[in-house]
Structure 1
Amino acid sequence: MASEGIYIRQYRPSDLPQIRALIWEAYITSDDSVTRIGRRTIRLNRTSLIAYVLGGVGLVLLSLPGGWYTSAVIIGALLSLAGVALFSEVQYTFTQVEVGFCKDALKTDIQDIAGYYGPPAAFFVAARPGHTEKPGSGFEDAEEVVGYVAFDYQPHKSPEKAELRRMIVSKSHRKHGVGGRLVRALLAHAETIPALQYIDLSTTQFHLAAQRMYERLGWELGSVHVMGGWLWKMEIRHFRKPIQEEAASLKVLVQ
């Protein structure tokens, strides 16, 4: 079972290389990354449909008899090229937004997790015992980081508010409850802060499974804003959960 042996603990500096790699996996490289899901989705948006129409009309004109010197064929070639260029631009610009998101994360809070998420904030990691193919290399006991979540709390700015951020579970360990365990660890920590009244989080329409989990755990959709332009649009969905005064439901293993 993929979740066997997984435990939740606080971040350690030695986790950083795996944390950085998981950002790229979750947002760019895996088959179900945000970028790939988004690119598949926007294949059917209005701009992409216009690109298909341009390309289709162009191909029809190119197929007309009369040779390559006729005006219909020339127009057909231009329309086909325009369709390809428009579709490529839609896909490229969306990808660049996600790449920029990852680069920004790696240059800001992820660059100094211990500093940014020091107490009373926190950064929780889901890990399992690692294995090496080279006995004696010194890394026999290295752990595999399979997910993490950040509790961004800055009481000097907003003592009543915190934010759940950087929620990621590796592709090979999804659908086994790892995400829920991470969030419950975060909630258990949050319940120890008397001044805290609610926890916010933001996600997109490409994270439907995560949204269902958040809703099961008490988050409610507050507002939605749309980013992007005429090429493509993406919904940013904002959720909020009130913090109840109740006993923590999860014992967090901190080593």
Structure 2
Amino acid sequence: MPFVVHAVPCLADNYAYLIHDQTTGATAVIDVPEAAPVQQALAAQGWTLGDILITHHHSDHIDGVDALRAATGAKVRGARADAHRLPPLDHALSDGDSFSIGSETCTVLDVSGHTLGHVAFHFPESRLAFTADSLMALGCGRLFEGTPAQMWDSLTKLMDLPADTVICSGHDYIKGNAAFAQTVDGDNPDLQARIARSRMDRAEGRPMAIAPLALELATNPFLRAGDPGMKAALGMAQASDAEVFAHLRALKDRF
């Protein structure tokens, strides 16, 4: 049976994600912006936390880790390359490493760009990828530490996952991301349909940071940097995909 995923709203627009293996009862959380909402969700579900997975070092993803570990005894996993600025790790991970949560195996992907040492967690059996601030709903993270080339490499890696993979990202930024996407890809009917649907999803209280990869490939302007129509619209028909991505990221930074 696939994991049950429970999105936990935190802070102003962050999400932590609880995943629960219905076969073994194993439970993990991906990122802990603050401990209390995660503890409340665990209690409400009747789940016992065993693992804390960290994507990157920013405080709005790790500030609750120490308190949650103290309360639950959960083991902490995060990037070896980022260990010097993460809470103490029980398990340090590198690109391509794998580990198990209950009956499922997770693969670690280095997705540096937003930060150096940022990782994503891919669970192929449940068709889930937790991408935090690398690939986001209708967007990607601002490049605080990495280069456009690094981020494009990371996004390309995520684009190569199966199209039915569900992307669980770190923030609800979809309103601003949608507004930007319309300025560079406004004639895209898939984008227009997604924006209309997102309004209904928000009204019905659905998490706004979760979407199938297939939908991101069709509507996320940063993933469409290689599309000939996108290139032509930007006046960059002869540019490389990476150059178009860098241009789009610069436009978004000024948006």
- With normalisation by structure 1, the TM-score equals 0.31
Give the number of the structure whose residues are more often helix, by fraction. 1
* Structure with larger Rg: 1
